[in-house]
Amino acid sequence: MAVAYVFALVLGGGFMALSLLGDVAGGGDVADVDLDVDFDVDADAGGGSDVNAFKILSLRTLVYALFGFGAVGTILSQLWGGAREPQTALFATAGGVATGFIASALFGFLKRSEVGDRAGDTSFVGLPGVVSLPMGSGSPGQVTVLRGDRSYRIRALPHDTAGHLDPQAWKEVLVVEMEGGIARVVPVDEELRLPDGG
């Protein structure tokens, strides 16, 4: 059984190292080796709001669980000399489940918080852009924004203040807010300008 623990440790550790090296090499933007295979189950809770009930499977969670299982199993096998196989298997399984759960909870928290946002998102605020893919009132489109000497294509939705205008007709926009990597924009076309408040 010790061979299985070492195999799990090497396999899980290898995938973790590959993920970290991919993030470093790509600046966390290009080579994102986060291959999530998430199955989210939404449940209606009383008032009709969707609640993310649980996450059944994530490749990242499995890799961390595999690493935790292998690490605990290998350490206990060496410590006890292979004499307590049932206890080692039990602790290794518990260690793997705990490691996977902690990793899943931590990455879920980072996804929901600003800590997980791409660096530089807020630097798009205030920049003009050209609509490259029209947006609907509820479906994101795409705008091309020039920041420095590079142009970026970012997903975009109409800002709340432009609710009465038809975003399908917008050609030029201004980024007024960034929310989870999606630009909130208002039109700057002369015929679509927002009415003055005064």
Question: Is there a contact between 181 and 163 (Cβ–Cβ < 8 Å)?
Answer: no
φ, ψ (nearest 5 deg) of residue 165: -100, 155
Cβ of 183: how many Cβ atoms within 10 Å?
28
Distance CA 64, CA 70 (A): 10
pLDDT at residue 96 is higher than 70: yes
User: Is the per-residue pLDDT at 93 higher than 80?
Assistant: yes
Closest CA to 78 of 92, 62, 66: 92
Would you state the pLDDT for residue 81?
A: 80
Mean predicted confidence (pLDDT) in 106-117: 63
| Residue 73 neighbours by CB distance under 10 Å | 25
Three-state secondary-structure class, residue 42? strand
DSSP code for 177: E
Give the pLDDT of residue 111. 67
150 vs 194 pLDDT, higher one: 150
| pLDDT tens digits for range 39-73 | 444 444 444 433 343 454 677 788 888 998 989 98
Give 36's pLDDT tier (boundaries 50, 70, 90).
very low
Look up tokens 């049932």; give the residue.
86
User: What value does the mean pLDDT take over residues 125-137?
Assistant: 87
- Listed ranges 16-20, 106-110, 113-117, 125-129; the one with the highest mean pLDDT: 125-129
Report the pLDDT value the prediction gives residue 197, as an integer from 0 to 100.
45
d(C-alpha 8, C-alpha 66), whole Å: 6
109 has a pLDDT exceeding 90: no
* One-letter amino acid of 159: H
Global pTM exceeds 0.75: no
- Residue 173 identity: V
Q: What is the mean pLDDT of residues 15-20?
A: 78
Is 181's pLDDT higher than 60?
yes
What is the C-alpha to C-alpha distance for residues 144 and 130, in angstroms, rounded to an integer? 5
Q: Which of 18, 14, 56 is nearest to 37 (CA)?
A: 56
What are the two backbone dihedrals, phi and then psi, of residue 68, each rounded to the nearest 5 degrees?
A: -60, -40
Measured distance CA(71)–CA(77) in Å, rounded: 10
**What's the rounded Cα separation, in Å, for the pair 197 and 114?**
32
Q: Which of 15-24, 99-108, 116-125 has the lowest mean pLDDT?
A: 116-125
